[in-house]
Amino acid sequence: MLAVRVFTLALVLGLHLELGNGMCPKVDSEALQEKRLDAFKSSFLAKLRLDHVPDNSVPRKRYNSLNEFDEDTKLAYEDAVNALAESYSGACSRCQHCRRPGDTQAYYAEVFTDVPGEVGPTQTTAEFAITHRTDHVMVKQARVKVPVEPVAKFHQLTRPSRAAGTQEVMMKLYTKEYNSQNETVSRRLVHKQKCDIGAHTATLDVTDLLTSLSTEGGGAGEGHRRVLEADLESDHDIAISGTGTRMTVVTTVGSNEGRSKRQNGIGKEYCSETPSETRCCLRNLMVNFREIGWHWVLWPLSLEIYYCSGTCPYLWPNSAERYPAVLNAYRQLNPTAAPEPCCSAQSIRGITAVIQMDPNKNPNVTNISDMIIESCICG
């Protein structure tokens, strides 16, 4: 009678029970680690749209600390890490390009670039170089950040300021084109908006603007260059700070194919506390980029990427779906008839890396989705 009930439940759940097939393969730990490392490397390359490992014959500078990178790279790395953290915390109101936990995750890599601003002689304008890579990339987010400070010599003329945190400036954005002699050949107003400077920085989202500029294409003559000029107008005597003026641009490299992210697995908290656990658990696995010969990955030097291994007994707590329990119950009655659930990755996080595929070009800060296993599940 019990066998009939279990088998009926299995049919209701749409399970396909095949004799002698679907058994979870028994693989030793060393082989699992090798397979996990191969999968990590393949995924890393695929999300960067690389069909082979970049040339390592030309030596690249070695970095042993983030502080050894230039300031723009460090700022871009900080932005990328924060964006990645927000994408997993659900703080999407502050992060335009993130995804809430449980949403379908895109198969992607995100490149974070800091474009330093060149402050004009009047200290009320700043220019940002516009460069576009329209092949296989998309502007996902762009922000202009302009730190401001009071002008000391005009303090006696400054109008009474409003309450802290409510000061505003008008930021006007122009596209400018320079010829090969660095002469201005065109200047066009493309956007204007009031910005709060309570935190001493005027910040403006220019994602749509850069996207529209990239779709315009052409227009510039040979040897010409285009810039985005930010012009500040205020009732207060302020100037653009000489440091920290930048435009942060996030572009994506990858496809739009997604995969779902499941919840409530057995993670490293449990597995690290019970290292002798033989059931499905998260196991340590370190990848060192220098040891595998990937010198084009400048930072981090190594990552703990983990892998899943262990048995999936009846009603093991991380069997979140109902069918693993059904399969195990039925398998106890008829061991040769039903496949057993396998221990596999349940939730996966992205990583932030500094990469330099071409040794003759500057490094890129990149976020790559779904690279580090955080928990495992029987399924």
d(C-alpha 149, C-alpha 160), whole Å: 16
The amino acid at 236: H
Name which of 68, 147, 143, 82 is nearest 113 in CA terms. 143
Check residue 254 and give its pLDDT.
61
pLDDT reported for residue 366: 92
SS3 call for 67:
helix
pTM beyond 0.85: the answer is no
Residue-by-residue DSSP string for 118-187 = EE-TTSSEEEEE-----SSEEEEEEEEEEEEEE-GGGGGGPPPP-STT--EEEEEEEEEEE-TTS-EEEE
Residue 7 has what pLDDT?
38
**288's tokens:** 């060192």
Residue 311: DSSP 8-state: B
Do the strands 118-119 and 125-129 form a parallel or antiparallel pair, or are they unpaired? antiparallel
Distance (Å, rounded) from C-alpha 118 to C-alpha 319? Answer: 56
Tokens of 326: 């059904």
Predicted pLDDT of residue 343: 86
The edge-to-edge listing of strands for the beta sheet with 118-119 is 118-119, 125-129, 225-233, 168-178, 184-196
Q: For residues 266 and 311, give the distance between their C-alpha atoms in angstroms, rounded to a whole number.
A: 13
The pLDDT assigned to 329 comes to: 59
Q: What does the pLDDT read at residue 163?
A: 41
What are 270-276's contacts with CB under 8 Å, separation 24+?
none
pLDDT along the chain (379 residues), means of 10: 40 35 63 92 92 84 91 89 74 39 55 88 89 60 86 43 59 92 90 84 88 65 84 83 85 57 64 80 93 94 93 60 55 58 85 91 90 87
Amino acid at residue number 157 = L
Hey, what domains does the chain have and what are their CATH numbers?
A: 17-60+258-378 (2.10.90.10), 118-244 (no CATH)
b vs e for 185-221, b when ≥16 Cβ sit within 10 Å of the residue's Cβ?
eeeeeebeeebebeeeebebebbebbeebbeeeeeee
pLDDT at 243: 81
Strand-pair partners of 169: 195
Pair 226, 176: CB distance under 8 Å: yes
pLDDT at residue 314, as a whole number = 57
Q: Left if phi > 0, otherwise alpha if psi is -120 to 50, otherwise beta: which for 87?
A: alpha
Nearest CA to 137 out of 76, 47, 264 is that of: 47
